[in-house]
Amino acid sequence: MTQQANDYRQSRTYKRRWWTLAVLSLSILIVVIDNTILNVALPTLQRELGATGAELQWIVDAYILAFAALLLTMGALGDRLGRAHLLKAGMLVFGAASLGAALAGSAEHLIAARVVMGIGAAMIMPATLAIITNVFPREERGKAIGMWGAMNGAGVALGPILGGVLIEHFDWSAIFLINIPIAVIAIVAGYFLVPNSSDPNPRRLDIVGTVVSTATLSVLVFGLIKGGDWGWGNPTVVGLLVGAVALGALFVLWERRTTSPMLPIPLFNNQRFSAGVASISSMGFIQFGIAFGFTLYMQFVQGYSALDTGIRFLPIALGVALGSGTSHRRVARFGTKWVVGVGFVGVALLAIVASFWQADTPYWQLGLVLFAFAFFMGNVIAPAVDSVLGAVPEARAGVGSAMNSVSVQVGGAIGIAALGSAISSVYASRIEPALAAIPNLPAEVVEAARDSVGAAMTIASKLPDALARPLAEAASNGFMDGWQVMGFVICGVALVGAALVFAFLPPRHLPVVETSDVPEAADPVKGGD
């Protein structure tokens, strides 16, 4: 062991590393909870704020869009100014925006507050992984990232359960107010337990890259959402999607030419980095999309309350936590490629099983499938995150951490938009003839029921039984047809992910050697697994 490594192991940073991880996990929890706590509140927000189906997607996507668009910038800013400093500032922004969201009186107001919350989350997320990279040596980092991933899984369950309790016993605004005490605890604990770190040779911020990447994501997500409303052949929708591709190409061109890129394009020459990013993006697409659809299925089709729906997310949380928290053991035995690849295959097979669920499928069957589904997801997420972080130099850990988060959030935004639009498109095509077959259904009811299954079920609850039952059945059947298509799409995405992993992801990390006992990472271009 070198003197440098020995000094590091005697330092207070090393001795407190697991306490540091606990604070970082709490910081991550607030970001994950905010995503999942909102899912069970969507039907309530639709009723209380009169939100349309598209506005519900934007309440979710506005946060994701701001989050994803600024992650790379915030990661670079953390490398420059200090990751612990940025973490505390992000907590402050997130807490203040949560108060604004709680006071929202309209869907538009709430969407604006969610944008600011996304900015705060973009400051929090890359800092946590960057700090983990700096305080944990290589041989412990896989375990630490697995525990970080397990906390993500815990948030998946805690969010819906907490959201259900708050909505049932208080008011929908409480789902945002709960963020404030968590932020305060994380800030105070972080002051004592989270060491600051930064890049000794920071680069200047890439303003042009930030603007172009934000425009790319905005146009892409807006086009995907409107594709479900206006039809995928609509000239405006086609123009938006083509424009997104053009802006993305412009972003890559700029990043190749600028001397201080927010995303160094040569990183993608490293197969560990590029395959890891692809895996994380694919899993973000699947995870966010299934959570959005499952919430609607539980509340509108199966008729559960917000609290009951939240409790039924528990198998997902347990599966992700168990898969992520133990994945480092399987990676050590079988290698990253096989663990991640088999994880994708498992997700694909279970997506097909889930696609054949019916409106009245008993929950015990749903729970078993959800647990296995989430376990395989966990076996993709943690090893893929570790692969990306291991391909980036420690000095630029903020950018590497941000790239992980960008991959999740961009994949998630596209997943919600694409899968939500797929459900909406199929629903609209099925509900039209079904509504026409119901005699004496008022024209205003027909028009409102076309918007979404939530609108149809809300209206049905206020109609006489003779009209309510056929309307609810038509809406339920239309949604389940869309759900089946969603399952097939998820299966396809997972199989593509598996193919990419088996083709490009190296099987193992670089071996730990004596000179690498202090935390360090591989060369950004030449490093391999």
Query: Which has more pLDDT, 281 or 435?
Result: 281
Query: Which has more pLDDT, 375 or 270?
Result: 375
> 27 pLDDT exceeds 90?
no
Residues in the chain: 529
50-54, 112-116, 178-182: which has the minimum mean pLDDT? 50-54
State how far the alpha carbon of 11 is from the alpha carbons of 135, 142, 395, in Å: 10, 21, 19
Question: Tokens at residue 219, please?
Answer: 């146009």
For the chain, the straight-line distance linking the first and the last C-alpha, in angstroms and rounded, comes to: 23
Instruction: Give the pLDDT band of residue 515 (cuts 50, 70, 90).
Output: very low
Helices (H) and strands (E) counted in the chain, each on its own, are: 21, 0
- Domain range annotation of the chain: 13-205+262-507, 207-261
166-170, 401-405, 411-415: which has the minimum mean pLDDT? 401-405
pLDDT at 12: 66
Q: Residue 455 in contact with residue 296, Cβ under 8 Å?
A: no
Backbone angles phi, psi at 358, to 5 degrees: -110, 175
> What proportion of the chain, given as a percentage, has pLDDT over 90?
15
pLDDT at 310: 73
6-10, 123-127, 441-445: which has the minimum mean pLDDT? 6-10
Q: Residue 284 in contact with residue 506, Cβ under 8 Å?
A: no
Q: Residue 524 in contact with residue 267, Cβ under 8 Å?
A: yes
Compute the average pLDDT of residues 180-204. 76
pLDDT at 521: 37
pLDDT at 345: 95
Compute the average pLDDT of residues 427-435. 81
Distance CA 155, CA 121 (A): 15
Question: Tokens at residue 380, please?
Answer: 């993709």
Distance CA 128, CA 131 (A): 5
pLDDT at 525: 37
Best CATH choice for the domain 13-205+262-507 from the list 3.90.1300.10, 3.30.750.24, 1.10.167.10, 1.20.1250.20: 1.20.1250.20
pLDDT by residue (tens digit) across 446-468? 777 777 787 788 777 777 877 77
Instruction: Give the pLDDT band of residue 13 (cuts 50, 70, 90).
Output: low
pLDDT at 520: 40
pLDDT by residue (tens digit) across 316-338? 888 888 888 788 788 888 888 89
Predicted TM-score (pTM) of the model is 0.74
Spatial CA neighbour of 482 closest among 462, 448, 463, 456 = 456
> 201 pLDDT exceeds 90?
no
> 489 pLDDT exceeds 90?
yes
pLDDT at 295: 81
Within 13 Å of residue 145, how many CA atoms lie on the same side as its CB? 30
pLDDT at 243: 93
Q: Residue 180 in contact with residue 98, Cβ under 8 Å?
A: yes
Within 13 Å of residue 407, how many CA atoms lie on the same side as its CB? 23
pLDDT at 508: 63
Compute the average pLDDT of residues 30-48. 76
Compute the average pLDDT of residues 329-358. 91
